[in-house]
Structure 1
Amino acid sequence: MSLLRFTRRATAPLVFASSLLALSAGAQTAQQVTVTATRVPTPVNQLAAEVTVIDRAAIERNEGRTLVELLAQQAGLQFASNGGLGKTASLFIRGLESRHTLLLVDGVRVGSATVGTPSLDNLPLEAVERIEIVRGPMSSLYGNGALGGVVQVFTRQAPQGLSANAKVSAGSNSYGQLAAGVGYGERVFDVAVQAQHTDTRGISATNPNVPFGSYNPDRDGFRQSGGSLRLGWRPAGDWRVELLGLHSTGLTRIDDGPGADARAELLNEIVTLSARGSVLPGWKTRLSLSESTDAYDTLASASAFASLGTIQTRTRQASWENTTATPLGTALVLIERTSEKVARPGAPFSVSERDIDALALGLNGNAAAHSWQASLRRDRNSQFGGITTGALAYAYALTPAWQLGASYGTSQTLPSFNQLYFPGFGSPTLQPEEGKHAELSVRYSVGEHHLRAAWYDYRYRGFISSGPQPVNLPKVAIDGLSLSYEGRWRELDLTASYDHTDPRNATVGNANFGKQLVRRAKQALRLGVDWEGGPWSAGATLAAFSHRFENAANTTRLGGYGTLDLRGEWAFTPQARLGLRVNNLGDKAYSTVLGYDQPGRQAFVTLRWVMR
């Protein structure tokens, strides 16, 4: 069955879900709370934006999957990757570029200002407690890079008392992982430490179709060591002083031509010191200082175009955030300064650093059946001057079950240092990208069943083209429909989503007018089911994507594909669990980037222990 015929049936799970909803009764379940969507804790059901929270249990169910593969299981998200673990990967939210996604770890920006993309390849997932995803324009709260959405990762925090965990995992392609953590929490002080080590021989990242003669049939493995530290102190009242740290190093083997064991070292470091608490009743403040480092050190290469040495981005950020209770809701005032400094092998860029000063205002409130969000931000940066972005969102509960939502926002993303200044590649006349986003949504939520449909229409000015000597395209358009369902039927937890996204060049007169943007599939279907009975649990995930194109002219086609993952677990004691997972059960051969392979069938056995 072709994917197109397959996706014609995509609404079937949602029709089935609607039937379940019609039969269900009872009070609504407790809603999840997000801090990313408004920068203050807000119940998800009060937001017009589409928000997903991936908890620790969901992360553990995805053994062997990369961070971008985990994210791409969610509605509206897709990925492209140059191989498996530790290889360069891109994340597309609703058809946008990877550079349009802002990645935060505990509120700290994590990314490369040289290529302008989030650092998705080297984060230690065993250090992660949960992940929040917000789709849509977030520049009015977060500034540069949040044009299409925000992914925020939260590291583990110690619960009350003494806690500990350990894990050992083994699998295909000589995969092995060891992880352990310990924590202690009490009223005044808490500490949590988590560490992991991963090693795999991997697969050959390339196949003979790869451009520029980069094919090398050897295995391209990955070795990573990383961990996190969180220290908390409560000196008085609700005040909390917190020190956070994350460190991860990875050694990845790559294919850039025969004749050398090409490899590179990845480094990500984050340090944050913050203090938060109440100044007066109804007024809370948070001060934070942070530094993040993203480095890519090419140790050996077979390519004549590669330079040995380190490409590095160092980002420093200071912010003062205040929230105040008002009759219209919670008001936010944010003052922030961000400094980015980059370095590369050989001669430095003509410009190698930039400073961004920002003031942001927000309002988040609800009354009876109404809820609203508003935000406005002014960024002044040392390269392009001042940029103002804003957003408005409104949701109305027709009944306790039905909610309508609407939003409109503007956004911006700065060109990366490579796009501007890389010798023989960059264009120093590039200007920031600017977007206008509109969305309408309807949500139905009763009992344990939640159904959401969203239509979105995005328009961009100055969209930066890919490849050497990039230019600002006058117009790019993206519109689409996203349907998602999650709920519980008897002993089964069910999820389903279908996306139709049309990302295209809308510049009249351009040679590629009307062509699909590269490496995005127009259609995506995901189905998931999990069952638990006593000490036993099992689950399956099906993901299917239509074809995509490798080039802007749409002459090089990458075929659609579907994968099926199976998992099972046995809790043989209250503290210990033994799990088995098989990814890509059908051993489907597919590529999300021309000439780069994705892993075939892989199996993993995992033993977990948690102190109880």
Structure 2
Amino acid sequence: MALAASLFCAAGAQAQVSSLSQSLSSTQLDAVVLTAQRLPQRVDQALAQVTVIDRAEIEAQAGRTLVELLAAQPGIQFWSNGGAGKLATVSMRGLEGRHTLLLIDGVRYGSATAGIPIWDNLPLDAVERIEIVRGPLSALYGSDAVGGVVQIFTRKGTPGLALHGRLAAGSHGQRQAAAGLRWAAGPWEAALGLQASRDDGFSATNARAQFGNHNPDRDGFDQDAVNLRLGLQLAGDWRLEALALDSRGETQFDDGPGRDARAKLRSQVLSLQASGTLASGWRQRLRAARALDENDTVVGAFGTGLTASTQKQLSWEHNLATPVGELLGVLERNEQSVQRPGAPYAVTQRTITGLGLGLNGRAERHHWQLAARRDRNSQFGGQTTGSAAYGLDLNEQLRATASWGSSFAAPNFNQLYFPNFGNPKLLPEEGTHRELGLRWVQGTHQVRVTAFEHRIRGYITSGQNPTNVPRAEIEGLSLGWEASWQGGWSLNASLEALNPRNLSNDKLLVRRAKEHLRLALQRDLGAWTAGAQLRSVGDSYENATNTMKLDGYTVLDLHAQWRLAPEWALGLKLNNAADVAYETAYGFNQPRREWLLTLRYGR
């Protein structure tokens, strides 16, 4: 942490001679977020590093998948087994994909068999915004939130009647259509969306693919989805809200020469919640939800059949204003059940019950956030986690932060029981995490520096027959700069340097690059908007012994939009403009140069 200390001193000296300034209007410091503390707060009040991806940025990233959209943000890398609709995951600050929790409107979504969020089949047209919170959040959310949380918020009603639609066509036979409406009147509000996408694709693998899986055919992806959100204002400020998201896809993948391997995907989230005030300064929320992930292999070399995960969730949250801050109480229960083709696993269901408390407060220049949680897993017994964060406003522009947290992550069903692959003797991982940060804001500029350290005890290795190794450690430094200038110019840049190691053999953790650079430049000229985004990722390794190298790569995307009328826009996206060949997983291709032309109505 010596580097972090020197950065604190340097930034502090600079801030002392800075003049007072206005808020950073070009960024989202005033945006209200829910994920960082499970209660509403402005981004500038959060002590964790928070990113909000709004609808405009999602549209600017047209043609990219959800994991690619996330990987364009600071501190996130991704790997994918091909293009759209293929198995993909993200790594937050060098941690495993299973160390990131995915929420959809507050509902946990992912695979209990694979133990990772399922990003492959979620339609971006249904998304209003995405919140990303980095840092250990097990004390608020329980297992899986080791490195952070990604929460997707679907579209909701708006006063009056608003329609939106989109038509797009592009490389590899891409055809996309989406339409929806948002409405609110009196106590009612509603949002409905329909999406359809067809993509003929490209070969998911190349000649380096392992186990003889390469098949030089096109591996396409078709998807149809619907999202519905209803709201009803009751007496006082009580509110009832229902959510339904159902996405069905069919993806082709390579499973050996001459075989048209295919799988049908289904992603479903259903929830019903009520929220309101019990007394002055005392609010509560009740939620019942069900999340379903299905992968039905229709054709495959290793057999066919349905693999499914169901999570039935109940939660009860209380927010109570106190003299020392806002107090959060959480009680929740998650029943996970799984099924697979052939003989069932030795254990096919488990229940996790969690009880947590949090406190978020401030007084003059001081900010504090505390949390503690006790989880009981029907397979692994009880686990206690905690976290503490403190922020100090050194002056009008500069805030210093320090935080500590503990975490745990239970093995997934595949790691435990998959035939000839799993290890039923695995135990949960336990981690400790530390972070030091500085955030400097002046005018339309924001600079952020964060030094962090993750130490995982009983780290579960990747691949066949996983084991708990004594310890893995990840040290990192993140630098970020956001700025805007007169003339419509804006810049967003970040650089991460990581040292992610398995300390039992002093090797780099698989698929983690030590460097990740991102630059995004955009200019708004009224009816015209144009921009470029560059993402550069260093070398990494596919295996634990670091003998299978994944070369680093640099990808440049270009985009332009012409607003034809207040409600109409025509956009053109050129992804991977330099036509770079690269892999994020050994033997699996990523898209070369691609274009997408989009006609959009409304927002």
TM range (shorter): over 0.9
1:582, distance to aligned residue in structure 2 (A)? 0.1
Match of 2:552 in 1: 560
Question: Amino acid of the residue matched to residue 191 of structure 2?
Answer: A
Match of 1:576 in 2: 568
Question: Amino acid of the residue matched to residue 608 of structure 1?
Answer: R
- 2:384 equivalent to 1:392: no
Provide the C-alpha distance between the structure 2 equivalents of 1:234 and 1:47, rounded to a whole number of angstroms: 29
Match of 1:107 in 2: 106
Aligned 1:294-313 pairs, distance under 5 A = 294-301=293-300, 303=301, 306-313=302-309
1:485, distance to aligned residue in structure 2 (A)? 1.1
Aligned 1:3-152 pairs, distance under 5 A = 25-29=21-25, 31-152=30-151
2:495 to 498, 511, 528: 498
1:314, distance to aligned residue in structure 2 (A)? 0.3
SS of 1:252's partner is strand
Provide the C-alpha distance between the structure 2 equivalents of 1:288 and 1:447, rounded to a whole number of angstroms: 41
Match of 2:327 in 1: 331
Provide the C-alpha distance between the structure 2 equivalents of 1:424 and 1:549, rounded to a whole number of angstroms: 24
8 Å CA contact retained: 1:31, 1:44: yes
1:450, distance to aligned residue in structure 2 (A)? 1.1
Aligned 1:371-520 pairs, distance under 5 A = 371-490=367-486, 491-507=488-504, 513-520=505-512
Match of 2:360 in 1: 364
Provide the C-alpha distance between the structure 1 equivalents of 2:356 and 2:196, rounded to a whole number of angstroms: 40
Match of 2:271 in 1: 272
Question: Amino acid of the residue matched to residue 412 of structure 2?
Answer: S
- 2:589 equivalent to 1:597: yes
Match of 2:543 in 1: 551
1:534, distance to aligned residue in structure 2 (A)? 1.6
After TM superposition, the score normalised by the length of structure 1 is 0.94
Aligned 1:219-238 pairs, distance under 5 A = 219-238=218-237
Question: Amino acid of the residue matched to residue 563 of structure 2?
Answer: A
Question: Amino acid of the residue matched to residue 81 of structure 1?
Answer: S
SS of 2:125's partner is helix
8 Å CA contact retained: 1:47, 1:395: no
SS of 1:162's partner is strand
* Identical residues among aligned pairs (%): 49
Deviations 1:102-156 (A, max 9, x none): 0000011110000100011110100000000011111111111111110000000
1:24, distance to aligned residue in structure 2 (A)? 9.4
After TM superposition, the score normalised by the length of structure 2 is 0.96
1:31, distance to aligned residue in structure 2 (A)? 1.9
Match of 1:8 in 2: none
1:28, distance to aligned residue in structure 2 (A)? 4.4
Match of 2:527 in 1: 535
1:23, distance to aligned residue in structure 2 (A)? 9.2
1:26, distance to aligned residue in structure 2 (A)? 3.3
Q: CA 1:526–1:23 in structure 2 vs 1: closer, same or farther (change >3 Å)?
A: farther
8 Å CA contact retained: 1:310, 1:345: yes
Question: Amino acid of the residue matched to residue 417 of structure 1?
Answer: F
1:45, distance to aligned residue in structure 2 (A)? 1.6
Provide the C-alpha distance between the structure 1 equivalents of 2:328 and 2:568, rounded to a whole number of angstroms: 44
Question: Amino acid of the residue matched to residue 500 of structure 2?
Answer: P
Deviations 1:389-412 (A, max 9, x none): 000001111011000000000001
SS of 1:60's partner is helix
Q: CA 1:140–1:568 in structure 2 vs 1: closer, same or farther (change >3 Å)?
A: same
SS of 1:126's partner is helix
8 Å CA contact retained: 1:127, 1:156: yes
Deviations 1:328-347 (A, max 9, x none): 11001111111000000111
Provide the C-alpha distance between the structure 2 equivalents of 1:524 and 1:44, rounded to a whole number of angstroms: 24
SS of 1:335's partner is strand
Runs of 4+ in 1 over 6 A off after TM superposition: 21-24
1:447, distance to aligned residue in structure 2 (A)? 2.2
Aligned 1:116-195 pairs, distance under 5 A = 116-195=115-194
Deviations 1:442-485 (A, max 9, x none): 00012221110000011110110011111001110000000011
1:184, distance to aligned residue in structure 2 (A)? 0.9
- RMSD over equivalenced CA pairs, Å: 1.6
8 Å CA contact retained: 2:281, 2:321: yes
Provide the C-alpha distance between the structure 1 equivalents of 2:209 and 2:148, rounded to a whole number of angstroms: 31
Provide the C-alpha distance between the structure 1 equivalents of 2:452 and 2:567, rounded to a whole number of angstroms: 45
SS of 1:140's partner is helix
Provide the C-alpha distance between the structure 2 equivalents of 1:31 and 1:435, rounded to a whole number of angstroms: 32
Deviations 1:204-223 (A, max 9, x none): 00000000000000000000
Question: Amino acid of the residue matched to residue 595 of structure 2?
Answer: A
Question: Amino acid of the residue matched to residue 327 of structure 1?
Answer: P
Question: Amino acid of the residue matched to residue 381 of structure 1?
Answer: N
8 Å CA contact retained: 1:46, 1:395: no
Provide the C-alpha distance between the structure 1 equivalents of 2:526 and 2:130, rounded to a whole number of angstroms: 28
1:259, distance to aligned residue in structure 2 (A)? 2.4
Question: Amino acid of the residue matched to residue 140 of structure 1?
Answer: A
Provide the C-alpha distance between the structure 2 equivalents of 1:194 and 1:220, rounded to a whole number of angstroms: 27
Question: Amino acid of the residue matched to residue 228 of structure 1?
Answer: N
1:22, distance to aligned residue in structure 2 (A)? 6.5
Can you give the 5+ residue segments of structure 1 that lack an aligned partner in the other structure?
Answer: 1-10, 508-512
SS of 2:508's partner is coil
Provide the C-alpha distance between the structure 2 equivalents of 1:573 and 1:312, rounded to a whole number of angstroms: 46
8 Å CA contact retained: 1:333, 1:362: yes
8 Å CA contact retained: 1:47, 1:372: no
SS of 2:102's partner is strand
Question: Amino acid of the residue matched to residue 127 of structure 1?
Answer: A
Provide the C-alpha distance between the structure 1 equivalents of 2:175 and 2:203, rounded to a whole number of angstroms: 18
1:227, distance to aligned residue in structure 2 (A)? 2.0
Provide the C-alpha distance between the structure 2 equivalents of 1:200 and 1:26, rounded to a whole number of angstroms: 47
8 Å CA contact retained: 2:20, 2:396: no
